[in-house]
Amino acid sequence: MAPPPSLAPAESPSTPATRALLPLANDRPQERADAARNRARLLEAASRLVAEHGAEHVTMEAVAAAASVGKGTVFRRFGDRVGLMRALLDHAEREYQETFLSGPPPLGPGAPAVRRLEAFGVATLRHVTKYIDLYLEAEQCSTRRYTVPARTVRVTHVTVLLQEAGVTGDVELLAETLLGYLDTALINYLRNERALPAERLEAGWTELVARVTRR
């Protein structure tokens, strides 16, 4: 995996109202040039170790050694191992967000809300599957996994689409229910433990959306 550079946020989400509610994937303050270079060097070392050994075997100490810095430097930069894994996912997460916030329809703006919901689930299943090892390691903390900005983006996006589709009731909880189907641990279990094909999971998502939207 290449070191994840910082990307600018998407400028054209599904609706103007949505834009005001959506944070960036993993927003961070503007860095000095030297700090940004050091961060990129650490992420490059971490990415190399993930590619060679798998995300579950990468430690903060190993990243420090690979980057020829002290262990404390890595902890000061990323806080802990979960923070490091989230930083590695940042680039992929931002690209993924841009596809459903400002990309072409049916995933992006311009398609009916229900069609966008269907496309969103399929895109998310594929995205999480592609980066499953990193997501599993980044979601080790049972409380932080639900409060990171990237997940807030997904919840808000699905909530807005449900509202646009005319769904009534507690739409926020319905959005959380839909996102439960796209949970990383569940996807990993169904794909890697039960060996269910991707096509079945994608068809299941489409059926779930149809039931929730009462089509």
CATH number at residue 72: 1.10.10.60
Using the predicted structure, report yes or no on whether residue 19 has a pLDDT greater than 80.
no
**pLDDT tens, 128-162?**
999 999 999 999 887 888 988 999 999 999 999 99
**pLDDT tens, 92-109?**
899 999 999 999 999 999
The listed range with the strongest mean pLDDT (81-95, 136-150, 186-200) is 186-200
Using the predicted structure, report yes or no on whether residue 22 has a pLDDT greater than 60.
no
> Do 75 and 171 lie in a common domain?
no
Using the predicted structure, report yes or no on whether residue 13 has a pLDDT greater than 60.
no
> Do 38 and 106 lie in a common domain?
no
* 150 vs 6: CA distance, rounded Å: 15
Give the DSSP per-residue string, 9-45. Answer: PPS--SSHHHHHH---SS--PPPPHHHHHHHHHHHHH
Among residues 59, 61, 85, 71, the alpha carbon closest in space to that of 140 is found at 85
Q: Does any domain span residue 8?
A: no
CATH number at residue 203: 1.10.357.10
* 160 vs 89: CA distance, rounded Å: 25
- Across the chain, which distance is largest between two alpha carbons, in Å? 58
> Do 57 and 89 lie in a common domain?
no
Among residues 90, 110, 109, 15, the alpha carbon closest in space to that of 47 is found at 90
> Do 48 and 86 lie in a common domain?
no
Tokens of 98: 């841009």
* 199 vs 134: CA distance, rounded Å: 23
Q: How many CB atoms lie within 10 A of CB 7?
A: 15
> Do 119 and 92 lie in a common domain?
yes
Gyration radius of the chain over CA positions: 18
Q: Does any domain span residue 19?
A: no
Q: What is the mean pLDDT of residues 163-169?
A: 96
At residue 14 the predicted structure's pLDDT band, cuts being 50, 70 and 90, is very low
What pLDDT, on a 0 to 100 scale, did the predictor assign at position 28?
Answer: 53
Instruction: Compare 212 and 86 and report the one with higher pLDDT.
Output: 212
> Do 143 and 68 lie in a common domain?
no
Please state, in angstroms and as integers, the Cα–Cα distance from residue 124 to each residue in 20, 52, 118, 144, following that order: 22, 25, 10, 20
> Do 42 and 97 lie in a common domain?
no
Q: Does any domain span residue 199?
A: yes
Secondary structure of residue 170 in the 3-state scheme: coil
* 90 vs 150: CA distance, rounded Å: 9
> Do 139 and 92 lie in a common domain?
yes
What pLDDT, on a 0 to 100 scale, did the predictor assign at position 8?
Answer: 31
> Do 125 and 167 lie in a common domain?
yes
> Do 60 and 124 lie in a common domain?
no
Last residue of a domain, one of 21, 48, 79: 79
At residue 3 the predicted structure's pLDDT band, cuts being 50, 70 and 90, is very low
Q: Does any domain span residue 6?
A: no
> Do 119 and 40 lie in a common domain?
no
Q: Does any domain span residue 116?
A: yes
The residue segments making up the domain with residue 60 are: 30-79
> Do 63 and 120 lie in a common domain?
no
Q: Does any domain span residue 95?
A: yes
Task: Count structural domains, the chain.
Answer: 2
